[in-house]
Structure 1
Amino acid sequence: MSENKKVSAPAAEQQQKNKMGHAPMMKLIVSMSLPAIFSMLIQALYNIVDSMYVAQIGEKALTAVSLAFPVQQLLIAVGVGTGVGLNSLISRRLGEKRFDEADKAASHGMFLGLASGIVFAILGALFIKPFFGAFTGDAEVIKMGCDYGYVVTILSFGSFVQISCEKILQATGNMIWPMMFQLTGAITNIILDPIFIFGWFGMPKMGVLGAAIATVAGQILGMLLGIFVLFKKEHEVKVHFKGFRPDGKILKDIYRVGFPSIIMQSIGSFMTMGLNAILIGFSQAAVAVMGVYNKLQSFVFMPVFGLTQGLMPIMGYNFGAKNKKRLISAIKIGECIAVGIMVLGTLLFNLFPRQLLQMFNASADMMSTGIPAMHILSACFITAAVSIVFSTSFQATGHGTASLFTSILRQLVVILPVAFLLSRTGLGATGVWLAFPIAELVCIVFSVGLFRRIYDQEIRYLGDVD
């Protein structure tokens, strides 16, 4: 209580008027989500353009980058997972009017971003070459994969620190600057990709290595903008490094939600590794199709993740403020918007699979494998939307383990075993694609059940103060 008394009367009055506790819900969700959705779409466009350029080098280059994708997934899992815990903690502390603790959490977020970059630099230097050697004996694929993997891991600090800056500001309801950080990185990447890959404007032709350099250059530039804005502009939270020492309690609070989120998203990395191991037994084209799908589906899933970036602080704030009415309203509206996005994505994948694959210079083998894959894989989009919003509600209310449980169920308990078994029954690669909609059906049943349990135990007893 003594910490609350330290807050000045004007600051306290400003906090009472926080838009997350009072603004009309639909307008609030749209205003907070649109910047994130827009930046996520640019991010997805970068992913697609990046792979389109790499595909021009050849199918082996696309296979190498596809094999590297789980490494990037793991890197992003740690950054975003930590950010989810940070976002949840800051938004809850703001809702509870514990402003000094929100500031301390933000400072720890910046520290964790830098520490994560150091850890991945060491791991990348040690394990990238053995990683690629475990999947293929093709020396050309291994070399291109190492060229890409060394750069994106050893120079990953830009990504981690940028994500920390984004999550700190998003937790306060500021979605514009995080959008600008992501746009800066993505646009820089898109511009530099062809210059470094193909050697435009007098630059040396670097191929896959050039794609990696363009990626980290964008991340570092986005990080620099994030640091400038966080320290030089006025915000609802402040980052302080003078006399900073890691606080075990704050770290525990961040990772109580963040660690399950890291594990949850890391599972996606291991799932992709497992699926690549199954698919490469059929053909390199099947691995390339999986890589292309991962990039294409990001154009559908990224807007939903942008939506959840807007939903997370709204849910966390109103849960912390004990406002059940607004919390449930945010969940219902979020579910409707997410399903609408996924309906459009399902139509896109079913109506234009050939055109989508042609963007990646697809060979005849990729076409014959990829067209039916697009039809089958897109069948999981709508059910995935429902599960994603429920997962966000679990994280926002401090129940990160519930999100972890659903992710483990989907990606380890169901997808990998089902993909392995179906691929061995004569279905081949088709068995791998079928595992996705099967897993989402199982997951949505458990997500609904977990939400009902959390509602009955905690949400039901919150107030309805407007």
Structure 2
Amino acid sequence: MHYNSNLKEKFLRVKAIDRGRQLFNMIKESLSGEEKDYTNGRIGKALFMLAIPMVLEMIFESVFAIADILFVSQLGDDAVATVGITESITTIVYAIGFGLSMATTALVARRVGEKKFEKAAKVSSQAILTGAIASFFIAVVGIFFSKDLLRLMGANATIVNEMSGYASIILGSNMIIMLLFINNAIFRSAGDAALSMRVLIIANCLNIILDPLLIFGLGPIPAMGVEGAAIATSIGRGLAVVYQFVLLFKGSGKIHIKIEHFTLKWKTIKKLIKLSLGGIGQNIIATSSWIGLMRIMAEFGSAAIAGYTIAIRILIFILLPSWGLSNAAATLVGQNLGANQSERAEKSVWAAGRINVVFLGLIGVVFFLFPAYFIELFTDDQGILVNGIQALKIISCGFIFYGMGMVLLNSINGAGDTQTPTLLNLISFWIVEIPVAYLLAIQFGWDQKGVFYAIIIAEAVLTLTALYWFKTGRWKLKKV
């Protein structure tokens, strides 16, 4: 009996070691950048292989923002304010970049699924041209009217007169941001997610090295202050874009772009713009609704706003793996629809949704039970703590809705239907969230709690309506 028990224990130990080895090999393979076909094989493995590099890519993007603020904060409040105000202006760049990358994902993934790699390369080149044209006009405004833009945003005289160079550089070089978005979308939609992750690693490492050198100076390098941060960001991202083009022209992955592809094809550009309008709309709707909620939160004082802001930062960081998984689902939907495997596309979405619901459900339980631990990492101010704990505890109750909702919406976008998610966002965030937040917080006297509950209600409405639309199957019929 004792012998059998030892034998069983040994068997379980060997099995656990074997599973660990398999997991390690899968992670290693997902980061290798090797060419893979995601229109066959196990769906769970395909999701895992795509999601790992996408999650890491998003984490590196977050590190990028943190590093900038960390160094700039040593220059004083005006420098930090300059970065913050400029970022609020560049939301238009991010909105356009997000929209074009979404359109690129839908078109390129579909062509890759059809095994029409030459057409995928042609679409990619037209997406790059479209982004470059859009960014040119933004650059002209940014270079020549940066002071006016800062003044319009309420910046003080010191920022306008002494630090406007930061805005000029960031807006003037916005093409770098645009191309970074679009090129990484090309890699991801082709299933080469590891390549886009490597690009972000290069950009981040260069930025972290150059930030202190250019901001504070070293030896023959003069201290450039906040403008040095803008130059470091532009150089870091710029060299990353150069690396992207080397990979695309070399044909290291499925997409091999050639010079002759860069002849303007207005039919393709029109299709890209039409699809991107939905993505731009989704971004603007979400951003503007957040501004609306902040306006309501302002009624309850700075402590309430600060606590809410800290809670949201924590939530956004925790949601990064979920966004990576939902992006992986979008890629699988596009490729499998292109391969005329609509049932496999649907199964991919349900698989990703289940994983996301379980993951965020568990995180939600932790946040609900131990919210103070996470808020205390950022502040010891009692007023902010109370509000932050309240925000984190209430909003985390909606994590199950967030988990399924983001997978459904990204997958519908990946199918090439960007109009439906835009409409659902508009209904949920502007027709439901803002009025309900005002009603509960102001009219019913729930104070900031009313805003937090309104967020859950809006996300529930968004998820349930997206679920209804997804189950109709109309997204499978979308031609792009």
Q: Give TM-score scaled by structure 2 length.
A: 0.79
One-letter amino acid of the structure 1 residue matched with residue 340 of structure 2:
K
Aligned position for 2:428: 410
Tell me: CA distance 1:348–1:153, structure 2 relative to 1, closer, same or farther (3 Å).
farther
One-letter amino acid of the structure 1 residue matched with residue 356 of structure 2:
A
Tell me the distance in 2 between the aligned counterparts of 1:380 and 1:208.
39
Tell me: CA distance 1:162–1:458, structure 2 relative to 1, closer, same or farther (3 Å).
closer
More moved, 64-73 vs 322-331: 64-73
How far does the alpha carbon of each residue in 1:26-73 deviate from its partner, in whole angstroms, 9 at most, with x for none? 111111221111221222344445455566667787676555554444
Tell me the distance in 2 between the aligned counterparts of 1:157 and 1:81.
15
How far does the alpha carbon of each residue in 1:400-428 deviate from its partner, in whole angstroms, 9 at most, with x for none? 11111122123222233333444433444
Tell me: CA distance 1:150–1:434, structure 2 relative to 1, closer, same or farther (3 Å).
farther
Tell me the distance in 2 between the aligned counterparts of 1:213 and 1:285.
35
Aligned position for 2:206: 188
Tell me the distance in 1 between the aligned counterparts of 2:162 and 2:381.
20
Tell me the distance in 2 between the aligned counterparts of 1:322 and 1:419.
43
Q: Give TM-score scaled by structure 1 length.
A: 0.81
Tell me the distance in 2 between the aligned counterparts of 1:283 and 1:210.
35
More moved, 430-439 vs 83-92: 430-439
More moved, 173-182 vs 431-440: 431-440
Residue number among 208, 211, 226 corresponding to 2:244 in the alignment: 226
More moved, 332-341 vs 147-156: 147-156
Aligned position for 1:316: 334
Q: SS of 2:39's equivalent? A: helix
CA contact (8 A) 1:45 1:299 kept: no
Aligned position for 2:183: 165
Q: SS of 1:19's equivalent? A: coil
Q: SS of 1:275's equivalent? A: helix
Q: 1:156 Cα shift?
A: 1.8
Residue number among 391, 416, 420 corresponding to 1:398 in the alignment: 416
Give the alignment of 1:78-157 within 5 angstroms: 78-125=96-143, 149-157=167-175
Q: SS of 2:198's equivalent? A: helix
Give the alignment of 1:39-438 within 5 angstroms: 39-51=57-69, 69-125=87-143, 149-193=167-211, 199=216, 201=218, 211-242=229-260, 244-280=262-298, 282-284=300-302, 286-289=304-307, 291-347=309-365, 349-350=367-368, 353-354=371-372, 356-360=374-378, 363=381, 365-425=383-443, 426-438=445-457
RCO greater where, 1 or 2, for CA within 8 Å and sep 6 or more? 1
Tell me: CA distance 1:52–1:438, structure 2 relative to 1, closer, same or farther (3 Å).
farther
Q: 1:278 Cα shift?
A: 4.0
Q: 1:335 Cα shift?
A: 0.6
Tell me: CA distance 1:127–1:200, structure 2 relative to 1, closer, same or farther (3 Å).
closer
One-letter amino acid of the structure 1 residue matched with residue 401 of structure 2:
T
Q: SS of 2:105's equivalent? A: helix
One-letter amino acid of the structure 1 residue matched with residue 320 of structure 2:
M
CA contact (8 A) 2:143 2:169 kept: no
Q: SS of 1:239's equivalent? A: coil
CA contact (8 A) 2:289 2:429 kept: yes
Aligned position for 1:464: none
Tell me: CA distance 1:146–1:273, structure 2 relative to 1, closer, same or farther (3 Å).
farther
Q: 1:429 Cα shift?
A: 3.9
Q: 1:126 Cα shift?
A: 6.6
More moved, 248-257 vs 416-425: 416-425
Tell me: CA distance 1:458–1:287, structure 2 relative to 1, closer, same or farther (3 Å).
closer
CA contact (8 A) 1:77 1:266 kept: yes
One-letter amino acid of the structure 2 residue matched with residue 436 of structure 1:
I
Tell me the distance in 2 between the aligned counterparts of 1:346 and 1:138.
41
Aligned-pair RMSD on alpha carbons?
3.6
Tell me: CA distance 1:438–1:132, structure 2 relative to 1, closer, same or farther (3 Å).
farther
CA contact (8 A) 2:349 2:407 kept: yes
Aligned position for 2:462: 443
One-letter amino acid of the structure 2 residue matched with residue 418 of structure 1:
V
Aligned position for 2:3: none
Unpaired runs of at least 5, structure 1: 1-16, 462-466
- Amino-acid identity (%): 25
More moved, 278-287 vs 166-175: 278-287
CA contact (8 A) 1:44 1:295 kept: no
Aligned position for 1:4: none
Aligned position for 1:9: none
CA contact (8 A) 2:307 2:389 kept: no
Q: SS of 1:173's equivalent? A: coil
Tell me the distance in 2 between the aligned counterparts of 1:397 and 1:302.
22
CA contact (8 A) 1:69 1:291 kept: no
CA contact (8 A) 1:85 1:257 kept: yes
Tell me: CA distance 1:196–1:356, structure 2 relative to 1, closer, same or farther (3 Å).
farther
Q: SS of 2:403's equivalent? A: helix
Aligned position for 1:3: none
Q: 1:193 Cα shift?
A: 4.6
Residue-pair matches, total = 443
How far does the alpha carbon of each residue in 1:339-371 deviate from its partner, in whole angstroms, 9 at most, with x for none? 233235435544564554455567555434333
Tell me: CA distance 1:210–1:178, structure 2 relative to 1, closer, same or farther (3 Å).
same
Tell me the distance in 2 between the aligned counterparts of 1:185 and 1:370.
33
Tell me: CA distance 1:435–1:166, structure 2 relative to 1, closer, same or farther (3 Å).
same
How far does the alpha carbon of each residue in 1:302-337 deviate from its partner, in whole angstroms, 9 at most, with x for none? 222222332222211111222133112211111122
CA contact (8 A) 2:248 2:255 kept: no
Tell me the distance in 1 between the aligned counterparts of 2:104 and 2:91.
19
Q: SS of 2:259's equivalent? A: coil
Tell me the distance in 1 between the aligned counterparts of 2:433 and 2:42.
40
CA contact (8 A) 2:352 2:407 kept: yes
Q: SS of 2:38's equivalent? A: helix
